[in-house]
Amino acid sequence: MQETDIVVKPRGVMPQGATTLPAAYYTAPDYFQREMDAFFGRMWVCAGRTEQVQVPGQFVVRELVGESLIITSAADGRVHAFYNVCRHRGTKLCTEEAGAFPGSIQCPYHAWTYGLDGRLIGAPHMDEVPHFRREDYPLHRVHADVWDGHVFVNTSANPPPLREQLGDLPSKFTSWRMADLQLGHRIVYDVRANWKLIIQNYNECLHCPNLHPALNKLSHYLSGENEPLHATYMGGRMDLRPGVATLSTDGTCPRAFLPGLGDQDRRRVYYYAIFPNMLLSLHPDYMMVHTLWPIAPDRTINICEWHFDPQELARPDFDASDAIDFWDLTNRQDWGVCELSQAGISSRAYTPGPYSNREDLLYAFDRMIVNLHSLKNEER
């Protein structure tokens, strides 16, 4: 497709003085902490997939707002999340990142034992203690819920329902039947950049022709459309160029399209950043999910997964290297510029720079962040 084939829709003009944020938003520990408290400590955070806790006792451990959390499932299939802290003398229960409990969770110190639903079921020598009641010492629970195969946790005391945070996303993405999809590949990236730079980079494709020539060849950077910013997510779609079947190393698609998709969605890729930590990229034949795990103002662990239709995965000749290599290359290009941004923003020479009219989503996201910081300041 020629550049001229793209219909460029008129855009609103940015307000005068619409600039990027001051450096402190990306470098200062107190800004980082406020964002961790207000976003990661209050919102529903995407922690993985039900597939990872499918069998009762299967677990993953996640670090969230400085806390270690165990996510597992009980015999009734319900997903549970707990602080990784023994109720006896506080010992960290589980030191592995993933695995399977043998029907219960046992503390390595004095063998207090908990059911997969968190109940204390064994406490050696505590029977001798007057007034001790096991039911008073379940594992400290964290809220957990599931959207279409994605597991979410929330560490706040009384969170609103997950559905409220997701807004109209569940109905928008029903056709992808995400719960049915299965993991094909996972790469964990350690990105030396602030978590917001990764979200912002994900939501603009002005950089695509320059940074991702391979991507731009398959999907024109000005194609598609963004939605205005929502309180809990932002995103939009891009269109595949004529003759391109999916985002892969050569633009062909060796897999069947996902079974629920209509003609239109087979020609598009949807990119949604679901705050605070999930980047959901829906392709005609696969789903890519990034989850972001900030650990410092200038460092974010970024787990990237590719999920496929189980029928395709089961094929003896299944090979997803075309999709994985394509996005691994693109991911590395992205994280590379995020790290360069972080480095430049950390310089004393940095001053906020002007946004173009095509960076309106980023500006809206920044305004949300600024509001959050001012609200938190008022709370003090």
> In terms of CB distance, is 111 or 314 closer to ligand FES?
111
Q: Tell me which residues in 145-174 interact with ligand FES (CB under 6 A).
A: none
Q: Which residue is nearest to Fe ion (CB)?
A: 334
> In terms of CB distance, is 137 or 318 closer to ligand FES?
137
Q: Which stretch binds Fe ion (CB under 5 A): 1-9, 71-79, 81-89, 328-336?
A: 328-336
Of the candidate residues 91, 175, 182, 249, the single one contacting ligand FES (CB under 6 A): 91
Q: Residue 334's binding partner, choosing from Fe ion, ligand FES, none, with beta-carbon cut-off 5 to 8 A by kind?
A: Fe ion
Q: Residue 140's binding partner, choosing from ligand FES, Fe ion, none, with beta-carbon cut-off 5 to 8 A by kind?
A: none
**Secondary structure of the chain in HEC code, one letter for each residue:** CCHHHCCCCCCCCCCCCCECCCCHHHHCHHHHHHHHHHHHCCCCEEEEEHHHHCCCCEEEEEEECCEEEEEEECCCCCEEEEECECCCCCCECCCCCEEECCCEEECCCCCCEEECCCCEEECCCHHHCCCCCHHHCCCCEEEEEEECCEEEEECCCCCCCHHHHHCCHHHHCHHHCHHHCEEEEEEEEEECCCHHHHHHHHCCCCCHHHHCHHHHHHCCCCCCEECCCCCCEEEEEEECCCCCCCCCCCCCCCCCCCCCCCCCHHHEEEEEEECCCEEEEECCCEEEEEEEEEEECCEEEEEEEEEECHHHHCCCCCCCHHHHHHHHHHHHHHHHHHHHHHHHHCCCCCCCCECCHHHHHHHHHHHHHHHHHHHHHHHC
> In terms of CB distance, is 105 or 199 closer to ligand FES?
105
Question: Least CB distance from residue 232 to ligand FES, whole Å?
Answer: 37
Q: Residue 89's binding partner, choosing from Fe ion, ligand FES, none, with beta-carbon cut-off 5 to 8 A by kind?
A: ligand FES
Q: Which stretch binds Fe ion (CB under 5 A): 192-200, 305-313, 327-335, 348-356?
A: 327-335
Q: Residue 110's binding partner, choosing from ligand FES, Fe ion, none, with beta-carbon cut-off 5 to 8 A by kind?
A: ligand FES
Indicate whether 334 belongs to the interface with Fe ion (CB under 5 A). yes
Contact string 102-141 vs ligand FES (x = CB under 6 A):
-----x-xxxx-----------------------------
> In terms of CB distance, is 113 or 330 closer to ligand FES?
113
Question: Least CB distance from residue 208 to Fe ion, whole Å?
Answer: 6
> In terms of CB distance, is 64 or 247 closer to Fe ion?
247
Which stretches of the chain bind ligand FES, using CB under 6 A? 86, 88-89, 91, 107, 109-112
